[in-house]
């Protein structure tokens, strides 16, 4: 019997778990995937939005501005890559200027600090690669970039260090309340809890509608991206937006927290929330839009394309709090599309307080400070590298040549709480496979290390859980089968 079951290990569920781990209680986070950050939380723009885009008075606006203000200190505590680079929203006509003035006004109402409308000369001085046809821009110096999957992982690590359990490969198929207890069904069995919190992203409406008489709809809205190699310098030092459309914040060009250039996203409503394909049409759309910001747009140094799916609610605002029209002790944070990454720390703080108070959990106990993440070998000085190798010879073996990731870091990523269990799990924790060759060279060695650490056969190791196995058998076995067939 749990006190609280959180469904969904994205940034919302993990931030909430970390926050709730400050109270006495047995808490678990359940996810259908094999790792945290498997959905929107791993595939987004990674922008900590300043907060001028959301309509004043909405939950999006409120949590955006509060969440953005929490990021600098929180990422420092958790050791997550975060860079307050600022952002420009470009206008190319007098009509765009009116939109930018509206965004400026919204920003003022939402309480966004230091916003300014700037003119062509200043823009070109700040960002010389900008299209010279630019007329004006909204400058938001408090906008920042963060590594979204590392943020989610760090929140999960901290929650686990404080006693939260993580249960993976467990899709929730049914939730119901009986005798003041909530029951959560998965193919592995039924879990029970005093309270549940639905943070299931694009899967949230299905669960909400099982328990509430106030039905909602969540529309999957896909966004596609180009990611360029960080060995080629990003043409811009800030996040470059264009004026937003009714489908979202529009296409951007931005350095990521790791210095790659990111171009995208598109915005397309799709029937299948799990369809994270990239398409010719989506990527062409991104390129065409980017040409307005950067006329010499060049994606020759592309290392991958990817897409993420937004959970767009038909109410057009975040839905946060007790589940209306459902029995007591059911809570939710759903319809969390952009700026959900930015908002997560603030959503988690307020919702955790609400749930803990409602359940009368014993008052806050000591929240153990986050165990610092290993300093990446790639970021060490020569002296630090030599010292690291002296202390642990596994630092002397480079596994990922593109991103300079060592065996010591990969083993640590598997051994730590909420450790990696797949090739992609290692990739998100260490960057092994994130570089130019996209894992072409290091995947076999990463697989061997996973086998050694987890006591598994290479045939059991997956790229990202489920049936995504990389190997189907040995050549000997295949030859033997062929001889039997003869
Ligand atoms: C293209 C794109 C760009 C974006 N850009 C930004 C940005 O720059 N800045 C920003 O602030 N926000 C941005 N966002 C929004 C942000 O990514 C999301 O708001 C945030 O990641 C949502 O987190 P979440 O935890 O609520 O959902 P998710 O990350 O989607 O997590 C939900 C989890 O629930 C699990 N789940 C679903 N159904 C079930 C079930 N039945 N049983 C068990 N588990 C289940 C899933 O496996 C998943 O792990 C963007 C989103 C997209 C898609």
For ligand 1, pick from 338, 424, 466 the residue to mutate: most ligand atoms within 8 Å of CB: 338
* DSSP 8-state symbol, 372: P
Q: Answer whether 342 contacts ligand 1 (Cβ < 6 A).
A: yes
β-strands 189-198, 2-7 pairing: parallel
Q: Are residues 211 and 224 in the same domain?
A: no
Please calculate the CA angle 39-50-200 and round it to the nearest 5 degrees.
20
Q: Are residues 140 and 236 in the same domain?
A: yes
- 22, part of any domain: yes
Answer whether 13 contacts ligand 1 (Cβ < 6 A).
yes
Domain boundary among the residues 310, 329, 349 is at 310
CB 416 within 8 A of CB 157: yes
Task: Tell whether ligand 1 has an atom less than 6 A from the beta carbon of residue 9.
Answer: yes
Quote the pLDDT of residue 366: 61
Pair (207, 325) in one structural domain: yes
Which CATH number characterizes residue 130's domain? 3.30.9.10
User: Residues with Cβ < 8 Å from 113, sequence gap 6 or more?
Assistant: 142
Q: What is the pLDDT of residue 104?
A: 98
Is 74 domain-assigned?
no
Report the nearest atom of ligand 1 relative to the CA of 221. Answer: 53
Give distance in angstroms: CA of 134 to centre of ligand 1: 33
CA of 156 to the centre of ligand 1 (A): 15
For ligand 1, the distance from its centroid to the CA atom of residue 11, given in whole angstroms, is 7
Does residue 69 lie in a domain region? no
For residues 29 and 110, state if they share a domain.
Answer: no
Task: Give yes or no for residue 203 CB within 6 A of ligand 1.
Answer: yes
Examine residue 53 and state whether it is found in any structural domain, yes or no. no
Q: Is the CB of 222 under 6 A from ligand 1?
A: no
Do 90 and 20 fall into the same domain?
Answer: no
Task: List the beta bridge partners of residue 312.
Answer: 219
Question: 32 and 423 in contact (C-beta within 8 Å)?
Answer: no
Residues 201 and 338 in one domain: yes
339 lines ligand 1 (CB under 6 A): yes
Instruction: Confirm whether 156 is domain-assigned.
Output: yes
Question: Rounded to the nearest whole angstrom, what is the distance from the C-alpha of residue 200 to the centroid of ligand 1?
Answer: 8
Asked if residue 204 lies in contact with residue 335, where contact means CB atoms within 8 angstroms, the answer is yes
The SS3 assignment for 88 reads strand
Domain that holds residue 288: 83-144+219-310
Decide if 158 is catalytic: no
**3-state SS of the chain: helix, strand, coil percent to 5?**
35, 25, 40
DSSP E strand stretches across 199-282:
218-228, 239-242, 252-255, 261-264, 268-269
14 occurs within a structural domain? yes
Asked whether 418 lines ligand 1 (CB < 6 A), one says: no
In a domain, 232, yes or no: yes
Q: How many domains does the chain have?
A: 3
**Tens digit of pLDDT at every position of the chain (486 positions):** 999 999 999 999 999 999 999 999 999 999 999 999 999 999 999 999 999 999 999 999 999 999 999 999 999 999 999 999 999 999 999 999 999 999 999 999 999 999 999 999 999 999 999 999 999 999 999 999 999 999 999 999 999 999 999 999 999 999 999 999 999 999 999 999 999 999 999 999 999 999 999 999 999 999 999 999 998 999 999 999 999 977 778 899 999 999 999 999 999 999 999 999 999 999 999 999 999 999 999 999 999 999 999 999 999 999 999 999 999 999 999 999 999 999 999 999 999 999 999 999 997 666 777 887 888 999 999 999 999 999 999 999 999 999 999 999 999 999 999 999 999 999 999 999 999 999 999 999 999 999 999 999 999 999 999 999 999 888 888 888 888 777
**CA 40 to ligand 1 center in whole angstroms:** 3
Q: Are residues 470 and 410 in the same domain?
A: yes
pLDDT value for 363: 78
- Residue-level pLDDT at 246: 77
From ligand 1's centre to the CA of 10, what distance in Å? 6
Q: Is 273 in the pocket of ligand 1 (CB under 6 A)?
A: no
**Does residue 205 sit in the same domain as residue 324?**
yes
Q: Are 103 and 242 in the same domain?
A: yes
Same-domain check for residues 225 and 269: yes
- Do both 383 and 432 map to the same domain? yes
CA distance 358 to 360: 5
Output the domain CATH number for residue 213. Answer: 3.50.50.60
pTM, rounded to two decimals: 0.97
Q: Which residue is closest in CA terms to ligand 1's atom 2?
A: 44
**Residue with the nearest Cα to atom 41 of ligand 1?**
172
Q: One of 49, 208, 230, 312 is an active-site residue; which one?
A: 49
325 near 309, Cβ under 8 Å? no
256 and 139 in a single domain? The answer is yes
Confirm whether 68 is domain-assigned. Answer: no
């Amino acid at each position: 019997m749990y006190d609280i079951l959180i469904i969904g290990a994205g940034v919302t569920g993990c931030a909430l778990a970390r926050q709730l781990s400050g109270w006495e209680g047995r808490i678990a986070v359940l996810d259908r995937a094999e790792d945290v950050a498997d959905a929107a939380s791993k595939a987004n723009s990674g922008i900590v939005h300043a907060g001028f885009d959301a309509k004043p008075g909405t939950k999006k606006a409120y949590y955006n501005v509060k969440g953005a203000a929490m990021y600098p200190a929180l990422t420092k505590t958790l050791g997550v890559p975060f860079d307050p680079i600022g952002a420009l929203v470009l206008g190319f006509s007098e009509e765009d200027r009116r939109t930018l003035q509206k965004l400026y006004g919204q920003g003022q109402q939402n309480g966004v600090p230091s916003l300014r409308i700037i003119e062509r000369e200043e823009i070109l001085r700040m960002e010389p690669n900008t299209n010279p046809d630019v007329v004006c821009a909204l400058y938001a110096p408090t906008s920042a970039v963060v590594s979204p999957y590392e943020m989610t992982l760090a929140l999960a690590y901290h929650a686990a260090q404080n006693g939260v359990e993580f249960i993976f490969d467990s899709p929730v198929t049914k939730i119901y309340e009986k005798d003041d207890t909530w029951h959560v069904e998965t193919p592995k069995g039924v879990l029970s809890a005093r309270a549940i919190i639905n943070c299931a992203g694009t899967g949230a409406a299905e669960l909400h509608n099982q328990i509430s008489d106030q039905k909602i709809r969540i529309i999957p809205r896909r966004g596609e991206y180009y990611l360029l190699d960080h060995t080629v310098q990003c043409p811009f030092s800030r996040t470059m937006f264009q004026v937003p459309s009714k489908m979202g914040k529009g296409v951007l060009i931005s350095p990521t927290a790791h210095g790659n250039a990111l171009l995208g996203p598109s915005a397309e409503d799709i029937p299948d929330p799990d369809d994270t394909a990239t398409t010719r049409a989506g990527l062409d759309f991104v390129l065409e839009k980017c040409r307005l910001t950067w006329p010499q747009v060049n994606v020759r140094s592309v290392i991958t394309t990817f897409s993420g799916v937004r959970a767009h609610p038909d109410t057009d605002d975040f839905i946060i709090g007790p589940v209306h029209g459902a029995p007591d002790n059911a809570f939710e944070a759903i319809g969390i599309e952009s700026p959900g990454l930015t908002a997560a720390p603030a959503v988690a703080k307020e919702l955790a307080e609400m749930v803990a108070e409602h359940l009368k959990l014993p008052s806050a106990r000591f929240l153990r400070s986050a165990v610092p993440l290993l300093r990446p070998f790639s970021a060490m000085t020569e002296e630090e590298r030599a010292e690291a190798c002296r202390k642990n010879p596994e630092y002397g073996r480079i596994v990922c040549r593109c991103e300079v990731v060592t065996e010591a870091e990969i083993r640590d990523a598997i051994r730590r709480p909420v450790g990696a269990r797949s090739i992609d799990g290692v990739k998100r924790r260490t960057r092994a496979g994130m570089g130019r060759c996209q894992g072409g060279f290091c995947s076999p060695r990463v697989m061997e290390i996973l086998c050694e650490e987890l006591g598994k056969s290479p045939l059991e190791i997956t790229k990202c859980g489920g049936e995504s196995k990389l190997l189907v058998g040995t050549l000997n076995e295949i030859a033997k089968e062929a001889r039997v067939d003869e």
